[in-house]
């Protein structure tokens, strides 16, 4: 259960942003920390307040299997470098929805793909397109979303911070069935997913770069570390 007080504060903060383009919000944090759950709850809160908001699922921006596993199915470096098609996310979503998007006079929706890949079938998707109103808030959750040049394309980054062992147990509980059972899920998290996170932390210092940092040991009782007014 997400904290209603936190959702209220985040929604108020984001609605107060006054930009000439949609507000691009990234939710960052370790695998298993709870990024997707918070992203969906935040969008629901914004919509309930009458504000246009969209949750963009990063599962729709994976690379195809041939690319994702070209360094090996257990490779942490492979997951870090090849898991997501961040070039497409940047070029087809974040740039068109940002200040360098199409020139216009007055409010005008902007087109973007809602997904480019189907994770279950491994099919490339080219017909999932939507439009974003000028005042929309676009919320994306993804591991590694502050990598390289991608970090400059977010208007806000919310970083969820929690101890590694908590993230590991949450991830196992969520993905055990999909990954072949609890032990297989534990191995995947320890050797691929969280090991890739270690590379990201070492190379990019994502917690330090984020505009909002939340202690997320307990999603029902998070603590604001940085970036939100009391």
Domains of the chain: 4-222 (3.40.50.300)
Confidence at 38, pLDDT banded by 50, 70, 90:
very high
Quick: pLDDT tens for 63-116: 999 999 999 999 999 999 999 999 999 999 999 999 876 655 555 568 999 999
Cα separation, 92 vs 109, whole angstroms: 14
How far is it, in rounded angstroms, from Cα 133 to Cα 163? 38
With contact defined as beta carbons under 8 Å apart, do 141 and 38 qualify?
yes
What whole-number distance in Å separates Cα of residue 76 and Cα of residue 85? 16
pLDDT at residue 58 above 90? yes
Evaluate if residue 23 carries a pLDDT over 90. Answer: yes
Instruction: For residue 93, give Cα distances in angstroms to 40, 110, 114, 115.
Output: 18, 9, 9, 10
What is the pLDDT at residue 230?
A: 67
- What pLDDT, in 10s, does the model give residues 180-206? 999 999 999 999 999 999 999 999 999
Tell me the pLDDT tens digit for each residue of 140-180: 999 999 999 999 999 999 999 999 999 999 999 999 999 99
pLDDT of 47 reads: 97
Q: Please give the pLDDT value at position 3.
A: 87
Q: What is the pLDDT of residue 111?
A: 92
Q: Which of 30, 11, 8 is nearest to 201 (CA)?
A: 30
Residue 217, both tokens: 């040991």
How high is the pLDDT of residue 109? 66
In this predicted structure, what is the pLDDT of residue 39?
Answer: 97
Cβ neighbour number for residue 190 with a 10 Å cutoff: 15
Tell me the C-alpha to C-alpha distance, in Å, between residue 97 and each of 102, 119, 135. Answer: 9, 24, 10
**Cα 82 to Cα 87, 142, 158, 213, distances in angstroms:** 11, 13, 23, 26
Record the pTM.
0.93
For the record, the structure tokens of 222 come out as 């998070």
pLDDT digit string (tens) for 205-229? 999 999 999 999 999 999 999 999 7
C-beta neighbour count of 166 within 10 angstroms: 16
Give the containing element (helix H, strand E) for 17: none
> Is pLDDT above 90 for 46?
yes
pLDDT for residue 151:
94
Determine the Cα–Cα distance for residues 120 and 27; give it in Å rounded to an integer.
23
């Amino acid at each position: 259960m997400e904290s209603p007080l936190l959702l209220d504060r985040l929604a108020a903060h984001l609605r107060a942003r006054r930009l000439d383009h949609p507000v691009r919000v990234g939710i960052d944090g370790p695998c298993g920390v709870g990024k997707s759950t918070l992203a969906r709850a935040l969008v629901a809160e914004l919509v309930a307040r009458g504000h246009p908001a969209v949750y963009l699922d990063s599962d729709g921006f994976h690379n195809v299997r041939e690319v994702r596993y070209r360094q090996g199915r257990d490779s942490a470096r492979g997951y870090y470098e090849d898991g997501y098609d961040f070039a497409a996310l940047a070029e087809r979503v974040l740039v068109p929805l940002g200040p360098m998007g199409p020139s216009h006079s007055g409010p005008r929706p902007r087109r973007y793909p809602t997904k480019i890949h189907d994770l279950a079938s491994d099919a490339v998707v080219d017909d999932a397109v939507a439009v974003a109103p000028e005042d929309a808030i676009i919320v994306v959750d993804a591991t590694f979303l502050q990598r390289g040049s991608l970090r400059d394309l977010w208007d806000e980054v919310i970083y969820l911070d929690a101890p590694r062992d908590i993230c590991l147990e949450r991830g196992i509980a969520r993905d055990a069935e999909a990954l072949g059972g609890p032990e297989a899920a534990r191995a995947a998290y320890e050797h691929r997913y969280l090991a890739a996170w270690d590379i990201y932390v070492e190379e990019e210092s994502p917690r330090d770069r984020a505009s909002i940092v939340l202690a997320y040991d307990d999603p029902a009782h998070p603590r604001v570390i940085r970036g939100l007014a009391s």
